[in-house]
Amino acid sequence: MPILSLLIFIPLIGAAVILFLNTERHRKAICWTATVAAAVAFVLSLGVWVRFVPGQPGMQFTELADWIDALNIHYHLGIDGLSLPLILLTTLLSLLSVIYSWRITDRIKEYMIFFLLLETGILGVFCALDFFLFYIFWEVSLVPMFFLIGIWGGPRRAYAAIKFFIYTLIGSLAILLGILALYFASTPHTFDMIELARQHPFAGGGIAAALVFWGFFLGFAIKVPLFPFHTWLPDAHVEAPTAGSVILAGVLLKMGCYGFIRVNLPILPEASRHFALWIAVLALISIIYGALCAMAQKDLKRMIAYSSVNHMGYVMLGIAAAVAFVAPEAVGQAVQHSRIVALNGAVLQMVAHGIITGALFFLVGVIYERTHLRDIDAFGGLAKQMPVYAGIMMLACFASLGLPGLAGFAAEFLVFLGSYGIYKLITGLALLGIAITAAYFLMMIQGVFLGELRERWQNLRDLDAGELVATIPLAVLMLAIGLYPDLILAVVDPASTALVTNLEQFYRLSDVIASLGG
Amino acid sequence: MLEIAWLIPIFSFLACAVLIFFGSALQRRWGEAVGWIGVAGVAAGIPLALGSLVELALGAAPVQYSVLWAPLGARIGGAEVNLHFGLAVDALTAVMLVMVTIVATCIMVYSIGYMHGDKRYSRFFAYMSLFTGSMLLLLLAGNFLVLYIGWELVGLCSYLLIGFWFERPSAADAAKKAFIMTRVADLGFALGILMLFFYVPSLNFAEVFAAASGGLIPATVVGLAAALLFLGAMGKSAQFPFHTWLPDAMEGPTPVSALIHAATMVAAGVYMVARLLPLFIISFGSVVLWGVPALTIVGIIGLITALLAATLGLVQSDIKRVLAYSTISQLGYMMAVLGMGAIGFAAAIFHLIVHAFFKALLFMCSGSVIHGCGGEQNMKKMGGLARRMPVTYYTTWIGALALAGIFPLAGFWSKDHLMAAVWSRSSSEPVYWIFFLGLELAAIMTAAYIGRLCFLTFGGTPRSEAAEYAHESPMVMTVPLAVLAGFTVILGLFGTQFVGVNLFNSVVNVDMPGSMAAASLHTSAHGEHGFNWIVAGISMLMAVTGLLVAIVVYRWQWVDTRIFKRYLAPWYQAAINRYYFDDIYRYTVVGGTLALAQVCRIVDTYIIDRLVNAIGWGTRVVWATSIRLFDDFVVDGFINVMAWGTGLVGRVTARAVHNGQVQEYIASFAVIAAGLACVVYVVVMLGW
């Protein structure tokens, strides 16, 4: 059974069904169709998780079919331990977002169609093993988000939507050029990512390799987003509707990191190693600078948006450490092991950040919907009025600031544990980020929840059923992954071990060749 | 019992879960009896902890448990390396478990009375259970991972409990301060762990110690890592210069203060240094900062803290703040003695345990006083309470005399241990006399400030209406006081030589690594130094001197306190301003970070984002211009040519060509229109 195709296209089928429904008359039906489609996709992804064999080398659930023979384009799907957690994250957050979005009143039909289309695009990116297909899905995921922000967004939605669209489109074009360069550099010409990772078309290095690397880098770094390409993110988040923010922060950003892991690392290992320090430095800046910017924000959504810049910095630090150049005489067990730990941490951080930040955006949406305010100073004392809300929000905040026992800690701890073995100074400085993060989250908690309750908020109601359904699973997952990270790492670890081992072999070989040449 | 010792924190966590999820529902049904769920969760650990301690004392081997936590790949040609959730129970852990479970149980029982009528009553017990459970987990840690997890959870609970009355801005501030300050210190802890892990792919204490003493980790790295780890302990145990959060933590309800100051939180730092003492001893030969080994740093910081906090304790008028500075000072003692090396190990732990009992007692007495005076905390508005609150009065004096180190209370014995350890270290290395003198000086001040507290609170006549109408607290509060007072009287027995053998030292000892550079450090590693009459005599003399000062000034009032204030004015001003530490931090670290955050925000909004938009704008201008030029010359020209051609050809071949030409025209028009529409859309939408 082509389970991955089914998984990817079930949301699309749901969207197609909704096309035939009428916004006014079939409101319930539209919501139900969307929910069922998202739920089926989620259940399918759970099935994939259950049947996934962690230790098995290579891709699993592969589907390969000829598509455009003349250009050697295939319909090639497959997943490994690096993409599986992200697929689960996508289907889960999509399902919760759809459930949460039942409350949308404006043009529910188009909204749900775009949402399901978005899910198809994201899932496609995480499953595609052919660059042609990868790029199509990549672009497919872009358009619905543009409309979600542009139509259902806040007051400055048009500005934010266009900024988001153009910024990421520029990134996409850079990726497209990179893909074409890889295609023409390979023999026989191929778009197949597995084959390209075998061939290493630009193994020799040089200007061409650098250009291709930076092309992909630009596309992925904008998506992550890595400093200094991050300014679209706060604008997009502030204007996006709640569920749009959840998917944007929870999943879309991960496409950038995933791109680095799936494309730059295995296909351009030489250039990746050469430029890893740059990425690590940008990651460090993202961590510190993002945290400081978050501290200075008054708008809750902007604050969480900047905290995403900060947290995605940890992912990129882990990725950079996984490929970093290490002087040949220093290479040893400890270094290779550090690389694996760092990569494990990076993938876990993607999942953790998706869950935590997804929950945070849901929760900010809750308060915004009730008060139409997101200003931290506008609130105060809400813990008294909305105890359940305050409890879940504080849980998410503490998870985000890396409290042990919750998901964020496990991920960040592993990133640090690994990256310290490679970049001692950068990791030491990056640790400062967790102190700043603690400070701004506690300042926010104090501003919103502690202190005396203001009179104007004495009629706020606590979470309703829909909001609980959307946030409780995320809260449970924060705790589950935090207590027992092996839940996720069991599939990630063999895959990252394999990737790092391959990279090490490649580097050893290329170092030997270089030394012979010298 | 030893095999199931890991259950001890589980009971507390379970109690916490029950109270969090069903607390308010149960409270509707049972009323304030729900508090007993918390008590039960903690008390359930007592028999297990006692049983484990007895088994270990009778010679059972320490046990370890571990569960896979996170797989970490494999090293080349090596086996899988995994992070485990590792627990271990040895005598040090067991004796701490006993102390924490007993003290916490007393505090919880007391809370049932103290928190009576609070609107978040069941939530209070949930947090207290979580606090105790986290501390127990921390004690059971068999590796750095669990130690760190317990460590941070304790921090979380202190945040929740210090800010329990979060409606008060000062409580919310104090909670935030405690969490952030300890977290900053924990950066050192984290970095220390990272440094060690790089050399040993394991976080297990035993393996790290073995690697360190086996030379697998360079001695300088061990030393630096130890110093960094100590930074974390300084934060948790409120050591100079991280001490400022602890007095503010008084904003929490008094049972919380008792728990923080005695059984949990601040004890964690001392316990951590004791647990990791082998690392400090191994690295003794290697210098870390300005030519000083990590172990000596511990001692110096401890000494400074002991003295500094004692001087501050003398001038406080808030009853709880006196006790807060007293805690800081006593923790300084423990750290100073740990800085003596293995010789101070048993002494520091014994004092930690004894201190936990009498400090919990003192805090709960102060809580009883505050409760009786209707919330008044200022000692200057008390007085004359001895007759009105007899149980509190006598138990406070027992705690106070123990703190001062008066024979035969437990505090005398534990302090004697401390001083004997310092004495024997000093006899071999004269420079350590500074420690002996400093700590004895602090002892005088200790006796003076605690004497002052007792006389101001209970002596004389009431100085306010609240004190006039003060009443004794209910049984549920006074019984725990009596129990703790009982422990404070008898506990000394376990640490004295008088019964022939020092029970405590013979049970609680660990094998310190045979370090090359520090052989002298563990000549009496098992604390076999006998009873030293000279040391005991000096200590008693100091304690009595301090108490005499308090009696002269506050009981007999032969000397007016205004005289001190006048003649010591510069010092007095500095002391009531807490030596300006808070102000310095506010204007440097806190202010600096906030200012930096604003700078980043401005850079982001006005430079980076403007730059991005400028690039977008520039591109648009170039693009729009080229489109216009293209439109004017190419498209128009094309259409004109077409029109001209159509006119020309149309006359010749009529319909077929005409059709095709129209399609072409429409197609090209559509493309251009779409392009222009995009540009127009962008322009309109962005409002340019």
Structure confidence at residue B171 (pLDDT): 92
Q: Is A263 on the interface with B (CB under 8 A)?
A: no
Would an 8 Å CB–CB cutoff place B600 in contact with chain A?
yes
Residue A429's region, left for phi above 0, alpha for psi from -120 to 50, else beta, is: alpha
Helices (H) and strands (E) in chain B, counts: 31, 2
Other beta carbons less than 10 A from residue A342's beta carbon: 31
Q: Count CB neighbours of B448 within 10 A.
A: 24
Give yes or no for A168 touching B (CB within 8 A): no
Cβ separation of B198 and A338 shorter than 8 Å?
yes
Do B195 and A420 lie within an 8 Å CB cutoff? yes
CA–CA separation, A130 vs A179, rounded Å?
Answer: 10
Instruction: State the nearest Cα–Cα gap between A481 and chain B, in angstroms.
Output: 10
**Phi, psi of B82, rounded to the nearest 5 degrees:** -130, 155
**H or E stretch at A67:** strand A60-68
Q: Is the pLDDT of residue B167 over 80?
A: yes
Cβ neighbours of B173 in A, within 8 Å: 446
ipTM: 0.91
Residue of B604, B611, B612 for testing the chain A interface, max A β-carbons within 10 Å: B604
- Helix B91-114 vs helix B266-275: crossing angle, to nearest 10: 180
Q: Does B649 contact A at CB distance below 8 Å? A: no
Q: Is B216 on the interface with A (CB under 8 A)?
A: no
Q: Are A166 and A143 in contact (CB under 8 A)?
A: no
Whole-number Å distance between alpha carbons of B578 and B575: 5
What are B67's strand-pairing partners? B85
Q: CB contact, 8 Å: A486 with chain B?
A: yes
Distance CA B264, CA B260 (A): 5
Residues of chain A neighbouring B604 (CB-CB closer than 8 A): 231, 289, 293
Mean pLDDT of chain A: 90
Tell me the longest C-alpha to C-alpha distance in chain A.
Answer: 77
pLDDT value of position A218: 92
Rg (CA), chain B: 34
B74 and chain A: CB distance < 8 Å anywhere?
yes
Give alpha helix (H) positions in A401-431. Answer: 407-420, 424-430
pLDDT-based confidence at B656, cuts 50/70/90?
A: very low
| Residues A377-434: tens digit of each pLDDT | 888 888 888 989 999 999 999 999 999 989 999 999 999 999 998 999 999 999 999 9
Euclidean distance between CA atoms A429 and A433, whole angstroms: 8
Find all residues with CB under 8 Å of B589, minimum gap 6, and list them. none
Residue of A nearest to B119 (CA): A384
- Annotate B475-507 with DSSP letters as a single string: HHHHHHHHHHHHHHHHGGGGG-STTSS-HHHHH
Q: Given A295, A416, A485, which is nearest B194 (Cβ)? A: A416
- CA-nearest residue of chain A to B202? A417
**What gap in Å lies between CA B158 and CA B238, rounded to an integer?**
13
Token pair, residue B223, equals 């030393």
**Chain B residues 496-535 with CB within 8 Å of chain A:** none
State the first-to-last Cα distance of chain B, in angstroms, to the nearest integer.
76
If DSSP codes are grouped into helix, strand and coil, which group holds residue A219?
Answer: helix
pLDDT of residue A201: 84
| B268: amino acid identity, one letter | A
Residue B70 to residue A410, Cβ atoms within 8 A: yes
- Spatial distance between the Cα atoms of B447 and B439, rounded to a whole number of angstroms: 12
Domain ranges within chain A, ordered by starting residue: 275-518
Which one of B83, B195, B680 makes the best mutation probe of the A interface by having the most chain A beta carbons within 10 Å? B83
pLDDT band at A79 (very low <50, low <70, confident <90, very high): very high
CA gap A138, A126 in Å, rounded: 9
Q: What pLDDT is recorded for position B516? A: 34
Region class of B375: left (phi > 0), else alpha (psi between -120 and 50), else beta: left
> Helix (H, G, I), strand (E, B), or coil: what is residue B65?
strand
Q: Residue B370, Cα to own-chain centre: how many angstroms?
A: 25
Question: What is each CA distance from A120 to A19, A61, A167, A357, B639, in whole angstroms?
Answer: 16, 17, 22, 21, 43
Structure tokens at A117: 């289309």
Contacts 24+ apart (CB under 8 A), A19-28: A19/A113, A21/A109, A22/A109, A23/A107, A23/A108, A23/A109, A23/A110, A27/A108
| CB-based contact, A295 to chain B, within 8 Å | yes
Task: Say if A352 is an interface residue toward chain B (CB within 8 Å).
Answer: no
Determine the pLDDT at residue B74.
58
> Chain B within 8 Å of A502 (Cβ-Cβ)?
no
pLDDT (tens digit per residue) in A29-67:
899 999 999 999 999 999 999 999 988 888 999 999 988
State the pLDDT at residue B215: 82
| Residues on chain B touching A435 (C-beta within 8 angstroms) | 180, 183-184, 187
Cβ of B612 within 8 Å of Cβ of A231? The answer is yes
Amino acid at site B632 = D
Contact (CB<8Å) B71/A486: yes
| A163 has pLDDT over 80 | yes
In DSSP terms, which residues pair with B586 in a beta bridge?
none
Tell me what pLDDT residue B500 has. 52
Q: What percent of chain B is predicted at pLDDT more than 70?
A: 88
Look at residues B56, B272, B290, B263 and name the one whose alpha carbon lies nearest to residue B182. Answer: B272
Q: Which residues from B are below 8 Å from A452, CB to CB?
A: 167, 169
Residue A341 at interface with chain B, using a CB cutoff of 8 Å: yes
- Determine the residue among B121, B124, B149 to mutate to test chain A binding: the one whose Cβ has the most chain A Cβ atoms within 10 Å: B149
Q: Which residues on neighbouring strands pair with residue B404, listed in sequence order?
A: none
Q: What pLDDT is stored for residue B662 in this prediction?
A: 45
Contact predicate A9/A63, CB 8 Å: no
Work out the pLDDT band at B657, boundaries 50, 70, 90.
very low
Which of A384, A398, A435 faces B156 most closely, judged by CB atoms? A398
- Give the pLDDT confidence score for residue B673 in this predicted structure: 54
Question: Which of B425, B292, B285 is CA-nearest to residue B348?
Answer: B425
Nearest alpha-carbon partner for A254 in A113, A146, A355: A355
What pLDDT is stored for residue B683 in this prediction? 47
**Best of A442, A500, A502 to disrupt the B interface by mutation (most B CBs within 10 Å)?**
A442
Q: Count CB neighbours of B495 within 10 A.
A: 26
**Subunit contact B687:A159, Cβ cutoff 8 A:** yes
User: Chain A residue closest to B120 (CA)?
Assistant: A384
- Minimal-distance CA residue of chain B relative to A439: B180
Q: Closest CB to B76: pick one of A333, A452, A453.
A: A333
Over 60: is that where the pLDDT of B655 sits?
Answer: no
Q: Which residue in chain B has the smallest CA separation from A437? A: B180
Q: Which among A231, A340, A434 has CB closest to B72?
A: A340
pLDDT tens-digit series, residues B168-205: 999 999 999 999 999 999 999 999 999 998 888 788 88
pLDDT of B633 above 90? no
- Cβ pair B352, B270 in contact under 8 A: yes
Give B202-208 contacts, CB < 8 A, sequence gap 24+: B202/B81, B202/B143, B203/B83, B203/B84, B203/B86, B203/B143, B203/B144, B203/B145, B204/B84, B204/B86, B204/B142, B204/B143, B205/B88, B205/B141, B205/B142, B205/B143, B205/B144, B205/B275, B205/B276, B208/B144, B208/B279
Q: In sequence order, which residues have a C-beta less than 8 Å from that of residue A515 and are 6 or more positions away?
A: none
Give the residue on B whose Cα is nearest the Cα of A291.
B597
Contact across the interface for B593 and A439, Cβ inside 8 Å: yes
CA distance A40 to chain B (A): 30
Mean pLDDT of chain B: 83
Contact B70 A489 (CB under 8 A): yes
Residue with tokens 């022939």: B500
B68's enclosing H/E stretch is strand B63-74
Beta carbons of B173 and A158 less than 8 Å apart: no
Q: Which of B151, B201, B616 sits opposite A337 (nearest CB)?
A: B201
Give one word for B303, left, alpha or beta, with left for phi > 0 and alpha for psi -120 to 50.
Answer: alpha
The angle formed by the CA atoms of residues A296, A302 and A304, to the nearest 5 degrees, is 95
Three-class SS of residue B572?
Answer: helix
pLDDT at A502 over 60: yes
pLDDT at residue number B512: 60
Q: Minimal Cα distance from A427: which residue of B?
A: B191
Task: Give per-residue pLDDT as tens, A132-154.
Answer: 999 999 999 988 999 999 889 88
Cα of A117 to nearest chain B Cα, Å: 23
Q: Do A191 and A253 form a contact (C-beta atoms < 8 A)? A: no
Task: Please answer yes or no on whether B176 and A443 come within 8 Å at the CB atom.
Answer: yes
Shortest Cα–Cα distance, B670 to chain A (Å): 21
Considering CB atoms only, which of B73, B183, B593 is closest to A496?
B73
Count Cβ neighbours within 10 Å for each residue of B459-492 and write b for 16 or more, e otherwise. Answer: bbebbbebbeebebbeeebbebbbbbbebbbebb
- Count each helix (H run) and each strand (E run) in chain A, helices first: 22, 2
How many CB pairs lie under 8 A apart between chains A and B?
Answer: 160
B184 vs A435: CB contact, 8 Å cut-off? yes
Residues 146-205 of B with CB under 8 A from A: 148-149, 151-153, 156, 159, 163, 166-167, 169, 172-173, 176, 179-180, 183-184, 187, 190-191, 193-195, 197-199, 201
Q: Is the dihedral of CA B263, B269, B272, B277 positive or negative?
A: negative
